[in-house]
Amino acid sequence: MTVTVRTRFAPSPTGSLHIGNVRSGLFAYLYARHNRGQFILRVDDTDRERSTKQSLEEILADLKWLGMEWDEGPPDEAYFQTNRVERHREAALKLLRERKAYPCYCSTEELDAKRKQAERERRRPVYDRKCRGLDCPADLPLPDKSAGRNYTIRFAMPLDGETIVDDLVKGRMVFQNSELDDFIIVRSDGSPIYNFASILDDVDMQITHIVRGDDHVSNTPRQMQMAYALGFTPPAFAHLPQVLGPDGSPLSKRHGATSVIAYRENGYFPEAMLNYLARLGWSHGDQEIFSKDELIKYFGFEACGTSAGVFNAEKLLWLNFHYLKERPLPRLVAEIKPFIAQRGWTIPGDDAWLEKAVATLHERAKTLVELVDFASFYLKDDIATDSKAAAKFLKPEIAEPLRALAAELESHEGEVSEASVQAVFESVLTRFNLKLGQLAQPVRVALTGGTVSPGIYEVIAVLGKRRTVDRLNAAVHLIVPTA
């Protein structure tokens, strides 16, 4: 009988979605889709103090933006871990009744003293199982410190044998059960710990494959033993190497933007982010550029690397540049509008006009934010002129050629085109015996405020006759205030 692959992504809504975390979610998503299985989104919100609605909404928006659609999950309340606490408590009581877990009465101070003693003796600071052999009433309830039941519940790990993890990325890993301590599964306030709740949710939701970072490897034998104790077969595991910063340390804010929303707000494309994250620890030959369909078609854990991936912001930017250049202009126009609106700018034309403007810039910009920055002289009339550029190019001897250019453009019948602009330029160049560069750079400074722009004929054709003439006359007035 063929088992349907079911993977899951279980973010905690305590902050923004981290690049390393979403990479694990992406690999789970791709594996499910590759095997025509199901991708489950679960919200692990047991950290009630730090979990917020804002973080949850941001995470859901990020996943939708990335195109990582889920088959089961929010808004269904059954997929929020806090709504399953009673199930977690019932399972803990079952283990307690079956003597697979036991109450621990050791105080925090006592445990701390034991930990320090172990450190002094250079031993691993594991619990010494002091309370494991104590009598446990058959009807002992879960702890509740406020009700005077001040103890924790510890899982009784097998004292011999091995736990074998046949990891889909790392291969076979063998853990000696005697080296795994009896860890707490229910705190003294009656709340189950994350590792216990998580594996129970996984088996209840029939998850077949857990994909996560290798910083969770130490949790895996413990979670497998809990699953066995509860009468379940644990899912398969795929532990991915961590994502590191360029300096070899775990990726963090000191390395720059590390959250999905930061890249979304900075004008990156979801295709670029998916493509980059997929290649961060997985490969398919020498191919670098992948569509989402190709990622799904080719993905498999056998092609995942076992060494840490190093996050390269420049490589991601290069990918985004590729996708921006390849974008159909009508789509690019639709995508750039929200970024223009964020600046509070009004678009001085229709979609056809904006498409013309974007066409002159889209092979220069690497992000949508950069594209808006480059297009500012098209979108705004109160352009700021670079003082060094003005000092170098807006000199008294160029005032008359600029005035003549403005006059000829204004006398041109109808709107201007690149061809008609070129004809006007050639007329003025001949009249004043100038080379193109001698006129084009002052005109560029007058129209854009700087010395770098698309071709000057293109710029004028997009700006239009009226706005061009006004800016040229303003430049002449700047050079000769009395003009």
Considering the candidates 253, 325, 392, 395, report the single residue annotated as catalytic: 253
Compute CA 411 distance to the chain's CA centroid, rounded to the nearest angstrom. 53
253 noted as active-site residue: yes
State the Cα–Cα distance between residues 263 and 286, nearest whole angstrom.
26
Question: β-strand 309-310 against 209-213: which pairing, if any?
Answer: unpaired
* Catalytic residue list: 253
